[in-house]
Amino acid sequence: MSEVCPNCGKPVLATDTICWHCGYQLPKRPAARPAPSRDAVAGLPGRAGDEATADDYNFRALAVYGLLTLAIIVALLLVMRSLNGRPILVQSAAFELGDWVSVTDVDLRYTLSVPADWQWLDVAYRDQSQLLDKVMERQIYVRRALRPLGRAADDLTLVGLAVGSQNLEVSESQPFVVIGRSDQLGTLTPDEALARLDEESSVSQQAVDTHLSGQPQARFDTTDLAGGYNCRHLFTAQAGVGYLVAACAPQPRFGSLLNDLDRIRDSFQLLEH
């Protein structure tokens, strides 16, 4: 920045002490104020408050992010624990042939596979107990199918039924699978269940099956000449609840439906531990 010599009026520099035009001794001028240092600026009340506010904001943001991350980790651990408590579903061999469907009860307690042209009735879904009663009025043997082991319990309840017909109004005997539930039988092992089978029933092929990890099953067959049905049975218990399954067919059709009945029985799995 230039200034003017007071003697000759010619321009001089702000740093000159003598006018280089006329030799005049220029008066002393006040030194320029130095720019404040960073430390000085930081020491100002307003600036210090701004930086403190920024530090507080950064700390709060980090705290929020940390809590969110912790919440996500905890949620993932809970999901992993829940999934670990569920059994690994085993694909039914029936699906290899197609035209089969997998059904699960509304309470997510069990699943099984049935032919696609069968009618499935989940009793707990919208309280279909009245419909179950109507079906059993026509398919009378459904009430008797679980007797070989069900007689040992007073609390046996039918929870699911699949009938091998698109028309539930028919009175002709149809193949079916029925599922019952009992708390009284929930403490039995497969061997104990086989030991409790009704002596009046014609029972054969008694065995313990362990193809499902953690879900050993008691298996047996029954032939009811008076009722006109043959059935493939299983019993399994878990968490203090016993499940009875009977896959049955009229005796004239039992031979042709045997493979389907086996696949239905093999597909039954509990979904809770």
Q: Would you give the distance in Å from CA 145 to the centre of its chain? A: 33
Q: Which two tokens stand for residue 92?
A: 């039914």
**Interval 198-240: pLDDT, tens:** 888 899 999 999 988 889 999 999 999 999 999 999 999 998 9
Q: How confident is the model at residue 89 (pLDDT cuts 50, 70, 90)?
A: very low
- pLDDT for the residue numbered 32: 56
Taking the domains of the chain in order of start, what are their residue ranges?
1-33, 47-84, 93-270
Q: How confident is the model at residue 87 (pLDDT cuts 50, 70, 90)?
A: very low
**Interval 1-50: pLDDT, tens:** 568 888 887 887 877 778 877 877 778 766 656 655 555 545 555 555 56
Determine contact, residues 230/248, Cβ cutoff 8 Å: yes
Q: How far apart are CA 230 and CA 247, in angstroms?
A: 9
Q: How far apart are CA 120 and CA 163, in angstroms?
A: 7
Half-sphere exposure (CA, 13 Å, Cβ side) for 263? Answer: 19
How many CB atoms lie under 10 A from the CB of residue 72?
Answer: 10
- pLDDT for the residue numbered 15: 77
- pLDDT for the residue numbered 37: 59
**Interval 41-86: pLDDT, tens:** 455 555 555 656 666 767 788 888 888 888 888 888 877 666 555 5
For domain 93-270, the CATH superfamily is: Mog1/PsbP, alpha/beta/alpha sandwich (3.40.1000.10)
Q: 176 versus 28: which is more confidently predicted?
A: 176
- pLDDT for the residue numbered 46: 53
**Interval 91-131: pLDDT, tens:** 444 455 568 999 999 999 999 999 999 999 999 887 788 88
